[in-house]
Structure 1
Amino acid sequence: MNLVADTSKFDPVVLELGRLFTDAGYELSLVGGPVRDLFLGRISPDLDFTTNATPDEILQVAKKWADSHWEMGRDFGTIGFRKRNSNKEVLLIEVTTYRAEAYDPQSRKPVVAFGTSLIEDLQRRDFSVNAMALRLPAMELVDPFGGAEDLAAGLLRTPGKAEDSFSDDPLRMMRAARFASQLGFSLHPDVLSAMTGMAERISIISAERVRDELVKLICGAHPRAGVDILVGSGLADLVLPEIPALKLETDEHHRHKDVYQHSLQVLEQAASLETGPDGAVPGPDFVLRFAALMHDVGKPKTRRFEPGGGVSFRHHDLAGAKLTAKRMKELRFDNDSIKAVSRLVELHMRFYGYGEAGWSDSAVRRYVTDAGPLLERLHRLTRSDVTTRNQRKADRLAFAYDDLEERIAVLAEQEELDSIRPDLDGGAIMALLDIKPGRVVGRAYNFLLDQRMEYGPLGAEKAEEVLRQWWAEQPESQPAPAVEA
């Protein structure tokens, strides 16, 4: 496959900045991802440049030209600029002094040494496809490590020895899996071999950096490939050990060789059910995808061999939710994401049995209420969990879930199901029972909520009647015993 960089799509600001630097006697090149994306027919939203100018000299050249600037990366040789183009669009630009980085093998942070050569700067980058540059303003391609050729072949290879690259920055091993997910690339055998041999070095990288790479991997176009690389290289044993553990377990329906392959298929299927920007679950949706990957991680802990030769995984949904929350906390995810993903894992088995036993309207209401704002994601996770090769069984489950969704829609239209509340609020409860704020009000509220779930809307008059009946049976409603004189 022959790829050609389409430089005609460049914003004129790029050439303008190039002329500023060359007129001042310095070199300037567009580098890394923006150059790679040109070959892929994409325009990168951020623009990264490299130069032989020092940070002070970068500021001297471009400070007045830009609308604003920032110096947070100054210690690493990076100065950032914000520039509005002729279309009033804001461009984010980073200019970095040529670097020759050296890493302390025991440190998480790079030791930065400024360089003087563009080739030297490109050689210290992670992969050959990111080690290309365009000299400005001449638009001359500099590709000393065959990045364009690797890009055409869909291959990830390091500019130098893979062991040296990963020793410098072990996070690059995670990036290799991430690029496989995002771009659909395969890994050069030397890269995969180095990752496998050096996987333990990922332990010196901060949880936050690992988390950020994992999110990008899961949200890529080919997440299954990325996860498989993490597992095959041994990296997952250190950053996401619950997933390789699934390779040891047998699916109770014997639909796959192991639960691991089933989980990868569920991940793929969940991603395929995401919607466009205006849909219910715009993709890529990390919460849905990660829940799909993690939904069965409770199975190793709950596996039981039954007397008849079968295997059961009772309550693996609850065990999996706890394991998922624990792992996400260790990876420093935010609380909202932790709660959402672990809740989906907890609820993913709730639907099963609907087709055979049938659900009352009360059970449907509880299903919706328990899912809350995650309902649309739960719909997609549940459907994705069907990976059986038995077409009759797959059709039966799909029909049952179609029926459940239809019932949810009908009830929602009748009752505004997505915001179920008792027929009386806390204020009305206190006024009716003549009580003050406290735990008793909460108990009364929950009682009315149960009634609402079970019987649908009661109306204020009926709600007051059943609440009085409930109150009459509570110890707090009884008069205090008389005190003897």
Structure 2
Amino acid sequence: ERVNLELIKLFGGQNAVEALHSLNDFSLLEILIPEVAEMKKVPKNSHHHLDLIEHSIETVKQVQCFYDKAAKEVKDHCDKEFFCGQKRLAYLKLAAFLHDVGKPSTWQIEPSSGRHRFIMHDSEGAKLIVPTLKNLKFSKKQIAYLQKMIKNHIYPSGVVTSDDSSEKAYLRFYRKMEDEVIDLIALAYADRLSALGPDITQEMIDKNLNGLDNLLKGYFEQKNKLAPLPKLLDGKEIMEILQIPASPVLGQIIHKLQEAQIASEVNTKDEAIAFIKKITL
């Protein structure tokens, strides 16, 4: 637990980037976080001007820069005490360092183009980091936060750069990410500024960052209107309607129903009943 606290203090400090470089130079990072050894093997590529470990450290730096330039309401959010008496910003910077931890195990190079691919590295990273976090004595809530950040770090940029980008997509993002909206936008912003390979144009950067600015602005405009969604059906009702016992399947159905509500595909109890009857698992 002492190592856990000191690690969080490291990320919470103003000199986190310098400390990470020093630990990396002496090969101490991989002692704390074994996945670092594999991260060091992933080189720079057409989308990244830095190798993976340097990109990860640069992302921490860019999160700090984002915070330093942020409006008061963003700083207030990041300055809140989160876990173990440490500020939320410290955990956000740790998430920034870990956001691409799934890349080594998903790394592929296309034979025809030579392009580097890391398909599903976000989901993979969120899963594989858990044993390390448990060994470092992180709590379930701490792990859940870091997993959510790793798994969804591409989501904000996807929302704002998609051809289907819309107010509905923004609202869906706000509802799904809840308290981590600001954190994820900050991480996406930092990630974009830490990946400046030869294939990345200024137009791409501007579109991404301007979109993230609008996503953040929209969140503060909509924040007070984002009332909790009503529970249209509880677990007992679903079991009775579908004639199923309590089981993991029930949890999956509830999750799918919540997703449909967030997407505004289901708005009434009758629609919810019709929806769950059509679910195939």
Could you say whether these structures have the same fold, taking a TM-score greater than 0.5 normalized by the shorter chain as the test? yes
Shift of 1:447: 6.0
How many residues end up aligned between the 2 structures? 260
What root-mean-square deviation, in Å, do the aligned CA atoms of Structure 1 and Structure 2 show? Answer: 3.5
1:390-423 per-residue CA deviation (whole Å, 9 max, x = no partner) reads: 433221111122233344455545442xx3334x
Between the aligned partners of 1:300 and 1:353, the Cα distance in structure 2 is: 22
- Equivalent in 330, 350, 359 of residue 155 of structure 2: 350
Match of 1:454 in 2: 263
Match of 1:281 in 2: 78
Match of 2:234 in 1: 426
Please say if 1:341 is aligned against 2:146. Answer: yes
Shift of 1:258: 0.7
Name structure 2 gaps, 5 residues minimum: 80-86
3-state SS in 1 of match to 2:40:
helix
The 8 Å contact of residues 231 and 243 in structure 1, kept in 2 or not, is answered as no
Shift of 1:271: 2.2
Between the aligned partners of 2:253 and 2:140, the Cα distance in structure 1 is: 30
Shift of 1:331: 1.1
Match of 1:58 in 2: none
Between the aligned partners of 1:385 and 1:231, the Cα distance in structure 2 is: 20
Between the aligned partners of 2:252 and 2:162, the Cα distance in structure 1 is: 34
Name structure 1 gaps, 5 residues minimum: 1-207, 475-485
The 8 Å contact of residues 243 and 294 in structure 1, kept in 2 or not, is answered as no
Between the aligned partners of 1:335 and 1:427, the Cα distance in structure 2 is: 24
Q: What letter is aligned with 2:229?
A: I
Please say if 1:382 is aligned against 2:193. Answer: no
Match of 1:271 in 2: 64
Shift of 1:246: 2.5
The 8 Å contact of residues 250 and 259 in structure 1, kept in 2 or not, is answered as yes
Between the aligned partners of 2:190 and 2:207, the Cα distance in structure 1 is: 14
Q: How does 1:244-263 map to 2 (within 5 A)?
A: 244-263=37-56
Shift of 1:291: 0.3
More off after superposition, 362-371 vs 233-242: 362-371
Q: Residues 448, 244 of structure 1: CA spacing in aligned structure 2 closer, same or farther, 3 A cutoff?
A: closer
- Between Structure 1 and Structure 2, which shows a larger proportion of helix residues? 2
Shift of 1:221: 1.1
- Equivalent in 344, 359, 379 of residue 165 of structure 2: 359
Q: How does 1:50-449 map to 2 (within 5 A)?
A: 208-274=1-67, 279-282=76-79, 285-307=89-111, 308-354=113-159, 355-359=161-165, 363-387=169-193, 388-389=195-196, 390-409=201-220, 412-416=223-227, 419-422=228-231, 424-426=232-234, 448-449=257-258
Between the aligned partners of 2:19 and 2:256, the Cα distance in structure 1 is: 48
Match of 1:65 in 2: none
More off after superposition, 235-244 vs 311-320: 235-244
Between the aligned partners of 1:212 and 1:450, the Cα distance in structure 2 is: 35
Q: What letter is aligned with 2:178?
A: G
Between the aligned partners of 1:287 and 1:248, the Cα distance in structure 2 is: 25
The 8 Å contact of residues 175 and 226 in structure 2, kept in 1 or not, is answered as no
Q: Residues 244, 472 of structure 1: CA spacing in aligned structure 2 closer, same or farther, 3 A cutoff?
A: closer
Shift of 1:310: 1.1
TM-score (norm 1): 0.47
Q: What letter is aligned with 2:76?
A: G
Between the aligned partners of 1:434 and 1:314, the Cα distance in structure 2 is: 36
- Return the index of the structure with the highest Cα Rg: 1
3-state SS in 2 of match to 1:292:
helix
Q: Residues 447, 233 of structure 1: CA spacing in aligned structure 2 closer, same or farther, 3 A cutoff?
A: closer
Shift of 1:360: 5.0
Q: Residues 362, 448 of structure 1: CA spacing in aligned structure 2 closer, same or farther, 3 A cutoff?
A: farther
1:195-246 per-residue CA deviation (whole Å, 9 max, x = no partner) reads: xxxxxxxxxxxxx333333222222111111111111112223222323533
- Between Structure 1 and Structure 2, which shows a larger proportion of strand residues? 1
TM-score (norm 2): 0.76
Between the aligned partners of 1:254 and 1:441, the Cα distance in structure 2 is: 42
3-state SS in 2 of match to 1:351:
helix
Q: What letter is aligned with 2:262?
A: M
The 8 Å contact of residues 270 and 289 in structure 1, kept in 2 or not, is answered as yes
Higher relative contact order (CA 8 A, sep 6+): 2
The 8 Å contact of residues 11 and 91 in structure 2, kept in 1 or not, is answered as no
3-state SS in 1 of match to 2:157:
coil
The 8 Å contact of residues 324 and 341 in structure 1, kept in 2 or not, is answered as no
Shift of 1:292: 0.4
